[in-house]
Structure 1
Amino acid sequence: MPQGAETAVPRKRGQSPGHKSQAKQPEPSASASSAQVSKDRDDEAFIEFRRSYLTAFLCGASSDWLKGPYIYRFYESNGFQPEDITLLFAAGYVSSAGFGLLAGLMSDALGRKRMCLAFCALYMVHCALHVFTSFRALLLARVISGVATSLLFSAFEAWMVAEHSKRFASRKLAETFAMQTQGNALAAVVAGMVAQAAVAVGGYGAPMVVAVPLLSYAALEISKWPENVGCKRAGLVDVAFGVVATMDLAVARVGALQCLFEGSMHIFVFLWTPCLQRASGGQEIPNGIVFSLYMVCMMLGGRQALPSCRWQPSLGVIFLLAAVCLLMPSLSHGLWWNLAAFCGFEWCVGCYFPQIAVLRSEFLSEQTRSATMTLFRVPFNCIVVAMLIWGRSMPPEAMLRYAAAALAVGAGAFCTLPQKRTDAKLEGGQGSSPSSGAGD
């Protein structure tokens, strides 16, 4: 063949002379296909995990929301004086501070799933006791409610964070907490409507009856969960010593942030109605509509923690904004100004809950998570009890100024918080990588 001549390439039948053969596309490797299948299975498992947790938690939270709008009227309708009602409310907070701490220790020692089931059982007993109208029976109901509420806001989260760290990437944790906050606000709105309908049919005690099926369904969902224990083969004393051993300055600051914000929040819960009543000149306020508006604002705040949201304010900014909102009744007596400020505060509440939950997941030890969370609630409950007993003679604007000052202190405390820890305290799992922190 002469130099430079092209080598003839045989053509397939029907192929034109100018057609160039195309390189065969490489088929996807078996390892890539199996990796995609594994990812799809992980996504399906995570969606089912999150669905089960949120269903159980929101059913439990809804049972608590159901009694909220009419529990004061229930006590009044049974002939109790304001002093008696104050004592009943205070008993619940004292119980949450004392017996709730013991329940938190038991949760880490005996198992979080067991304590979630215990919450359902205790709250059913709490609801059943409202069949009786004696002061002693209702006082016992408040004591049981205090213990159950501590379990609702500690054992559930401790179980979820532990299971999440074992099975899934922790970057999805913040999204789960954001969905929990939004769902809780929506549950509050729906529970208020259901409670109103129940009262119209069966009186002020009817919402307690409606709560029982929700608690039963929550218990059914919880029964499908795997158990996890903070301190394996450890007793209550061991867990208590573990709480003390892991209580460094960073953990204490996280607890202080929680106490300052949630203490201020509960002061607001007691005072927003008289503040708006005074600002309206004594006119009737549609509390149900206002409450629903608050919950919508809380839902909007919860959206700030979603990955799709571009602006995610830090916890320090949230504390400062909340403080400014609570100062508004002292700066202006206009109804609409106060209502706008209170809606802004509820937006801050929606932003706060996912972020403080992520902070707890980063700084609290897995072995004593539930006990530490209930320990955080002790000073918060003491603040609320002190307000109930000694703050009744103060004007609501003055009490809100104290709450705003506490929030300003919280903003300063957040600035002193060290950089977030890795999840080294969590036992193994995909969430133990520093690069997959919950705040990502």
Structure 2
Amino acid sequence: MKKVYIYALAYALTAVSCQDNDWVADNATSQVPEIEIPMGAADGELLIKFVPEMSDILNQTLTRAGGVSTRSGIPSTDEVLSILGAYHFERVFPVDPKTEARTREAGMHLWYIVRFDKNTDLKEAARQLRKLGEISKIQSNPTIQRAYDPKKKPLYLSANDLQYVTRTDEGLAFNDPGLKHQWHYQNKGSYAFVKEGRAEAIAGSDVNCVEAWKSCKGDPSIIVAVLDEGVMWSHPDLKANMWTNESEEIGSTEDKDGNGYKGDRYGYNFVKNTGVISWTSAEDTGHGTHVAGTIAAVNGNGTGVSGIAGGDGTENSGVKIMTCQLFDGQYGATLAAEAKAIKYAADNGAVILQCSWGYNSPDANEALGYVPGPKNEQDWENQYPLEKEALDYFIHNAGSPNGVIDGGLAIFASGNEYAPSSSYPAGYSKCISVSAIAADFTPSSYTN
């Protein structure tokens, strides 16, 4: 161990020499791409990843400091951080003894968040830090955005409206009253969505639930993490299918299972860093609960809607929903918090991520007011390397060789900017990008 520490220290000392508060030499070479500071990036924050040789120094510094420090313990890095005015240094992912070995194998323990004064020029700070040999990746810490417009609230159908969308219960698999309106599960073509002369419903324009239900109506060993607004875990059509961390109690100030998160009984609120899941803010739309219901509303209970994988109405059937809250009222999670949510899902049993957020499509129409997102996969990876690594961690580490799924499935909305290509992360080649169709087999008017 001592030899490793001496080697790492020598590496750090030879990487750069700053004297008399000079910046790092401009002729220093770097393999770290230059970064952009997008709109919505947190003021005074950068995310940095160290090279593996720095592990021992970082471990000692953070162990002595209880996980949070003002410095890294690496002399050259700390000298530059001091010049830049950094005052907070913290590992992005909390230590979970049960999964720390694979966290380190994936290099996730090398990611840190650094905070500066809010008026710090982050682009210049990144330019100086990227010249340090002990740093391998740098990015800003933006707030993620919903893929849906939170200003548009759900519209509930009146009795007059229902004459255009109602059909009989005949031939339906379950007795849930909302199922007859869920054309996207089983479209028999018997809907008249709008008045005569408008679009029609065509039989078969659905997600083939009836065929799928012949094989399985929802396996309780599957945990789906909904990364969205908070899921109303007490909802009468959801509570039986919520994932539950039996070791924890909501609102607890103790981390009873030692996974690094306090009170995470049904999941975690990554916006406000608490186990208390919320869904009642005026700016909330109910989208997280809606998504959870689409996935796993309890089937056959005569209540609400049916879930694609909500079970068959018998006890202990239906997939389980873990709520990883990324939007809380007017607030969204930072990218660091998003990455924590993705890793949390993998480390606590989820095998599917459901995500209705991302950047705009690279082909989003600027004339319509959209700011195009990353141009391609490489551009996305250069700008948001932590996000990619978190998704890779989930894809490679979720599930079990002895379970229903070995590895994780990351599912994203392709986006709602009317664009001819997917947004990212949905466009990442290892993710599943989901577009939308209308009831007549045509693309929905808004979908990418």
TM-score, structure 2 normalization = 0.20
Between structures 1 and 2, the one with greater helix share: 1
Larger Rg: 1
Between structures 1 and 2, the one with greater strand share: 2
State the structure with bigger RCO (CA 8 A, min sep 6), 1 or 2.
Answer: 1
TM-score, structure 1 normalization = 0.20
